[in-house]
Amino acid sequence: MYRSFKTRNILQIFGFGVVVTTSLNLENTRFRGSFNWFGPKRLHCESILWPTWSQPKRHTCVCKSRNFVADAAEKVLESVVNIMLETVVCSRGSGFIVDADGLVLTNAHVVQDCTEKSKIIVTLADGREYPAVIHAVDFLSDLAVLKITPRSTDVAPNLTPVTLGSKNEMRAGDWVVSIGNPFGLQNTITAGVVSSQRRKSSDIGALDSRVEYLQTDCIIHSGSSGGPLVNLDGEVIGINTIRADSEGISFAIKIDHSLDMIKQLMEFGKITRPYFGFGMVSLTPYVWQQLRVQTPQHLLPRTESGILITSVEVDSPAFRAGCLEGDVIVEVNGQTIQSASKLLKVIGLQVRDPVQMRVNASGL
C-alpha cells in the first residue's frame, strides 16, 4: 500500500542541462467500476501516477517476456567473435564487431603477447575463421581494435556491427547479459545484474583514470575478456575485462564513458590525451580532514569543493596559464567541477583547444 505524497516545484540547473522536478501525487491503488463482493461484475484495479499539471494517465508497466535474456543475446550474438593468439603457446579471448569493414573491439591484454611472428585468428559466430592484425592498441585504457584481413581465397564475410552505448543510464539492479568464449567455448552466454553502475579505475587497480567500469555478478572466466556486456535492448554497454577471485564479481569497461577513446582508436590508430602539467586531488571530506590537520589555517583553500592543484610542472600549459600550487579549480568551460574524474570528462580528449578555468587562488 502506498501513501500519497507531494513535493514542491524545484528548478535546478546543472551545467548546460535543466532538470525540473515538479509536483507529483502518488495515489493509493484505487478501484473503479461496481464493487460488489457477491455480484457478477469484475473488479478493475489500476495504479496511477498523476502529474498535477495534466489529466490522469494510466501508468504502464513494460514487462519483459520470460525469454528476455535470450532475446537480448540474440541481437548481438552474430557479432561476437573468438580471438585466438598463436605464439609459443595459444591464448584466447573474445571481441565483437564494431564496423562492417572488419574492425573488432577487444581488450588490449588479449593481444599483449603478440609479436611479429604471432598469428591472430578470429572465429565468427558461424564458425568461419579469418586472419586478423592489430589495428590499434592502448594498454593504458586496456582497449584494442583488430582488423579482419580475409585471404584471397576466402569468401568476404558479411559482418554486422553491434550498437555501441545505451540510450538510458544503467542502474544498479538492471539486468545485463554477458557473451564470450571462456576456455574456447564459443558463444557462451551468462546473465546477471548491475551490482554498481560506477567503479573508478582506482577501485580495481586499473591504470587509466579516464576509464570507468560497471560491476556485475555475471560469471566470466579466462577467454571471456573482450566480450560484450549487453543490456536488454541488445545495446553493448560494456567490455568484459576483469573478475575478482570470488565468483559473482566482475567488471566491464563502460562503453558510454569510453566512446571518444574507441573512436580515436578506430579512426587514428591511437589515443591522444591532453596534457595539463599539474598534479591534482579532489577536495573530498577525507582530503579536507587531512588538510586541516597538516596545513596552517591561513593557507587552507578558500572553498570546500573543487580540484586542488598539488604541483605545477615548469613550462607546462598550466604553468604558462599562471596556475599555482594550492589553487583550487572550481569551474571548467562553464561547468562546475567537484572531482578529478568530472574534470577529465569535461575536457575529454580535446588537445590544442583553449580551456577556460575558474580558479580560487591559493593563500600561499
98-108: per-residue pLDDT in tens?
A: 999 999 999 99
326 versus 7: the higher-pLDDT residue is 326
**What number is the average pLDDT over the span 215-225?**
89
Q: Look at residue 68 and tell me whether its pLDDT is greater than 80.
A: yes
Confidence of residue 205 (pLDDT cuts 50, 70, 90): confident
Residue 253 pLDDT: 93
Distance of CA 74 to the CA centre of its chain: 22
Active site residue 233: no
Active site residue 59: no
Distance, in Å, from the CA atom of 166 to the CA atom of 231, rounded to the nearest integer, reads 8
Query: Shortest CA distance to 99 belongs to which of 36, 154, 49, 163?
Result: 163
Confidence of residue 209 (pLDDT cuts 50, 70, 90): low
| Integer angstrom CA distances of residue 21 from 11, 52, 123, 182, 345 | 6, 12, 50, 46, 25
Distance, in Å, from the CA atom of 162 to the CA atom of 169, rounded to the nearest integer, reads 18
> Per residue in 72-113, pLDDT tens?
999 999 999 999 998 877 889 999 999 999 999 999 999 998
**What number is the average pLDDT over the span 276-287?**
86
> Per residue in 227-249, pLDDT tens?
999 999 999 999 999 887 777 88
One-letter identity of residue 31:
F
Q: What is the mean pLDDT of the chain?
A: 79
Distance, in Å, from the CA atom of 137 to the CA atom of 140, rounded to the nearest integer, reads 9
Reduced 3-state DSSP string for the chain = CCCCCCCCCEEEEECCEEEEECCEEECCCEEECCCCCCCCCCCEEECEEEECCCCCCECCCCCCCCCHHHHHHHCCHHHEEEEEEECCCEEEEEEEEEECCCEEEECHHHCCCCCCCCEEEEECCCCCEEEEEEEEEECCCCEEEEEECCCCCCCCCCCCCCCECCCCCCCCCCEEEEEECHHHCCCEEEEEEEEEEEEEHHHHCCCCCCCEEEEECCCCCCCCCCCEEECCCCCEEEEEEEECCCCCCEEEEEHHHHHHHHHHHHHHCCCCCCCCCEEEEECCHHHHHHHHHHCCHHHCCCCCCCEEEEEECCCCHHHHCCCCCCCEEEEECCEECCCHHHHHHHHCCCCCCCCCEEEECCCC
Q: What percent of the chain has pLDDT over 90?
A: 36
Confidence of residue 15 (pLDDT cuts 50, 70, 90): very low
Q: Look at residue 184 and tell me whether its pLDDT is greater than 50.
A: yes
**What number is the average pLDDT over the span 5-29?**
36
> Per residue in 249-262, pLDDT tens?
899 999 988 888 99
Q: What is the pTM of this model?
A: 0.71
Q: Which of these is catalytic: 109, 221, 256, 260?
A: 109
Distance, in Å, from the CA atom of 146 to the CA atom of 122, rounded to the nearest integer, reads 9
One-letter identity of residue 206:
A
- Measured between alpha carbons, how far apart are the two ends of the chain, in Å? 59
Confidence of residue 64 (pLDDT cuts 50, 70, 90): low
Q: Which of these is catalytic: 195, 201, 225, 250?
A: 225
Query: Shortest CA distance to 106 belongs to which of 123, 87, 128?
Result: 123
Where is mean pLDDT largest: 20-34, 42-56, 130-144? Answer: 130-144
**What number is the average pLDDT over the span 302-323?**
87
Active site residue 142: yes
Query: Shortest CA distance to 233 belongs to which of 305, 155, 160, 167?
Result: 167
| Integer angstrom CA distances of residue 346 from 15, 266, 278 | 10, 22, 17
Q: Look at residue 50 and tell me whether its pLDDT is greater than 60.
A: no
Q: Look at residue 201 and tell me whether its pLDDT is greater than 90.
A: no
Range in 24-28, 60-64, 214-218 the model is least confident about: 24-28
Confidence of residue 148 (pLDDT cuts 50, 70, 90): very high
**What number is the average pLDDT over the span 275-284?**
87
Q: Which of these is catalytic: 91, 138, 141, 142?
A: 142
Residue 9 pLDDT: 40
Distance, in Å, from the CA atom of 353 to the CA atom of 364, rounded to the nearest integer, reads 30
**What number is the average pLDDT over the span 314-334?**
89
